[in-house]
Structure 1
């Protein structure tokens, strides 16, 4: 089943697995935790003490508490990035099995922090504008006495440190195919 907050694809399996863990928290504690996570996405760092305090009543192990934080963060950022309405997010979280009160808690936080999350995502997303320098270089990599071709791709935006990616020819082919499909999907939306 496709979910809008998952960018119109299936919900990741790991998130489905965390729905039960999210349900262990009270809806009030989940709302407070989600608010702290939302603020951690775009501003003040998330305090480990806050996470421990809010998850202690549910007797969550440390790894479970970390998984809850990761799940809430992913839901908030994905929903904001996909520009999902709060009512849609609420409905979809319930479809995934999250109790109504818990879905409402996350949705309330999402609604309260939506603009800040969007602004943060826009600020931290990869942007192509201004002086962008792209380069590629085909090189050989010695493997077991033979030369294997690799491709080094580099992107530099202004005076920043370049971002470099090294791939094999088959990985480059797959990357080009996926980017082409992504462009076609984006063009079909607009």
Structure 2
């Protein structure tokens, strides 16, 4: 069976296994746990002591970590695929999560869907900015005659703000293709 929150794919087996763990939580504990997982998704700050305090009576440490991972996957994946809370709730009930727990999860999810999507977009494609681009054009002379000049070669060195550098050379045709592709990519990014 395909699920929207999984990108119209089958639900991962590990998540199916954790549904039974999540089913044992009360709806209040589920809401608290979802709130803490959501805070972790938004800020990267999970208060694990608090989570352990809420759940340690019923679960071992490995089960607690698995439940947190399952909730993080459900909420981030649903936000990634822009699944509304009603559809998410129906799909989670089909997987066997009790209605009360689904209601708690979906309430937390729906209240912060836009904020979660913005946070995920901000972290999705991190590319260091270019710090500098050094280039030069080399004309290679033929070894048989100093008067024959072969096509130029372009030497490029790109340095990022992180200090990484990449040096390479391309011939004239490759440089024209590279330049055209870079212009198209820039245009696509500006249209976003």
| CA distance in 2 between partners of 1:94 and 1:109 (Å) | 16
Partner of 1:36: 36
Shift of the alpha carbon at 1:158?
A: 4.8
* Structure 2 CA distance for partners of 1:10 and 1:44, relative to 1, 3 Å: closer
Equivalent residue for 1:159, pick from 154, 158, 161? 161
Partner of 1:166: none
| CA distance in 1 between partners of 2:163 and 2:7 (Å) | 30
| CA distance in 2 between partners of 1:35 and 1:120 (Å) | 15
Contiguous gaps of at least 5 residues in structure 2: 131-157, 165-192
Partner of 2:7: 7
* Contact preservation (8 Å) 2:35, 2:108: yes
| CA distance in 1 between partners of 2:86 and 2:128 (Å) | 34
Pairwise CA RMSD: 2.3
* Contact preservation (8 Å) 2:85, 2:106: yes
* Contact preservation (8 Å) 1:5, 1:78: yes
Shift of the alpha carbon at 1:115?
A: 1.5
Q: Secondary structure at the match of 1:97?
A: coil
Count of residue correspondences = 139
Contiguous gaps of at least 5 residues in structure 1: 132-155, 163-190
Q: Normalising by structure 2, what TM-score?
A: 0.66
Partner of 1:112: 111
Q: Secondary structure at the match of 2:116?
A: helix
Q: Are residues 1:101 and 2:103 paired?
A: no
Q: Normalising by structure 1, what TM-score?
A: 0.67
* Contact preservation (8 Å) 1:128, 1:157: no
| CA distance in 2 between partners of 1:115 and 1:68 (Å) | 23
| CA distance in 1 between partners of 2:53 and 2:129 (Å) | 46
